[in-house]
Amino acid sequence: MGTSALRDEGLSRHYLPPGRTASPSPALTQHLTEALAPYDVPVTRGPIWTTDAPYRETAAEVSRYGADGVLAADMEAAAVFAVGHCRTVAVATVDAIADSLVDRRPRRHSPDTEPALHTAPAAAAQALHTSTASPPTPANTRVELLVNRSRRAPL
């Protein structure tokens, strides 16, 4: 689960001032964490790396971000977090890990990927329900959640 996203893509700069990361809604991220708890799937919280150039990921970058504790790479989270911040929309992400950046091999048959892809929408629906039922929510706030299939960064 993304607690922040490294901004290595082009969209977030149009919605946020210059900076290294973008962040999700802490409240919605907490609701999502709680909604995933009853399911028998591994959940790890931490930073993710958003890049819109997946074929330009170098071994040095992967190694450096892994050493920094980055859990996964995706193409959307930083942009979603930035737009959410700009538009006063609570956003969060949950990522189902699909392949590995370390060995560059798809994990199509990973025992965790398929259950995570099925669990995430149910947990997202529960998190959205819980978050909208929890005051205070400003009248102009909408709540959105990104369920994403990601690539794993090294641990």
pLDDT band, residue 106 (cuts 50/70/90) = low
Average pLDDT of the chain to the nearest whole number: 81
Confidence (pTM)? 0.80
Instruction: Give me the mean pLDDT over the 143-152 stretch.
Output: 52
What pLDDT sits at residue 6?
96
For 65, left (φ over 0), alpha (ψ -120 to 50), or beta?
A: alpha
Q: Which two tokens stand for residue 134?
A: 């929890």
Instruction: Give me the mean pLDDT over the 5-29 stretch.
Output: 95
Task: Note whether 22 and 81 are within 8 A (CB).
Answer: yes
Name 23's Cβ contacts closer than 8 Å, sequence gap at least 6.
Answer: 3, 4, 5, 81, 85
Distances (CA, A) of 144 to 64, 88, 106, 108: 31, 11, 28, 27
As a whole number of angstroms, the distance between CA 89 and CA 85 comes to 6
What pLDDT sits at residue 155?
37
Q: Which is nearest to 8 in space by CA: 74, 71, 63, 60?
A: 74
What pLDDT sits at residue 56?
84
Instruction: Give me the mean pLDDT over the 32-52 stretch.
Output: 89
As a whole number of angstroms, the distance between CA 1 and CA 4 comes to 9
* pLDDT, tens digit (0-9, with 9 covering 90-100), for 57-92: 888 888 899 899 999 899 999 999 999 999 998 899
Q: At 4, phi and psi to the nearest 5?
A: -165, 165
pLDDT band, residue 98 (cuts 50/70/90) = confident
What pLDDT sits at residue 2?
92
